[in-house]
């Protein structure tokens, strides 16, 4: 089957997609967007978090055919023109990037939080990122990064 959708603002097409293929596979392997990571394939870790029509979704749980005609935004689409977004810069500055597997999903989830809540409390940050697992940082540097990004996006 052929899938046509808007990805990061551009019309994209993938051919010969089989019925059981995930949107994550299409993004990574067919469209060359490796930012969303394939970790658990069960929607438990958040590493493949994307926007689907403006709502957060785990790309591993979305059948590719469900993306037909829809708007998909990946971590690559958060900072057009090759520049890093405020959230991406904050993650680097705070040292919240270690192995990098969870980072794309955390960045997308943080981006979503900050577009909804300009000054999130620590409880709001924790709740918003609860679907994203990190095995390296112990989360404190991730919280620091979200706080830093919130401060940068307000100013």
Closest to 142 (Cα-Cα) out of 105, 82, 155, 116: 105
| Beta-strand relationship, 49-52 and 10-14 | unpaired
In the structure, how many helices (H) and strands (E) does the chain have? Answer: 5, 5
pLDDT string in tens for the chain (155-residue length): 999 999 999 999 999 999 889 999 999 999 999 999 999 999 999 999 999 999 999 999 999 999 999 999 999 999 878 889 999 999 999 999 988 899 999 999 999 999 999 999 999 999 999 999 998 877 999 999 999 999 987 65
Q: What is the pLDDT of residues 102-117, one digit of tens each?
A: 999 999 999 999 999 9
Which distant-in-sequence residues (6+ apart) come within 8 Å of 12 by Cβ?
Answer: 4, 5, 6, 31
Distance separating alpha carbons of residues 62 and 55, to the nearest angstrom:
13
pTM of the model: 0.94
CB of 104 closer than 8 Å to CB of 75 = yes
- Is residue 22 classed as helix, strand or coil in its secondary structure? strand
């Amino acid at each position: 089957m052929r899938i046509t959708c808007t990805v990061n603002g551009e019309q994209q097409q993938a051919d010969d997609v089989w019925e059981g293929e995930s949107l994550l596979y299409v993004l990574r392997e067919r469209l060359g967007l490796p930012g969303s990571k394939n970790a658990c394939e069960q929607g438990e870790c958040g590493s493949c978090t994307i926007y689907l029509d403006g709502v957060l979704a785990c790309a591993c749980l979305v059948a590719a055919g469900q993306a037909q005609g829809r708007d998909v935004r990946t971590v690559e689409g958060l900072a057009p023109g090759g520049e890093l977004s405020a959230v991406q810069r904050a993650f680097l500055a705070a040292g919240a990037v270690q192995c990098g597997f969870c980072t794309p999903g955390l960045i997308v989830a943080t981006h979503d939080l900050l577009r909804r809540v300009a000054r999130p409390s620590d409880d709001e940050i924790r709740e918003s990122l609860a679907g994203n697992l990190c095995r390296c940082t112990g989360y404190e540097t991730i919280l620091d990064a979200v706080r830093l990004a919130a401060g940068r996006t307000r100013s």
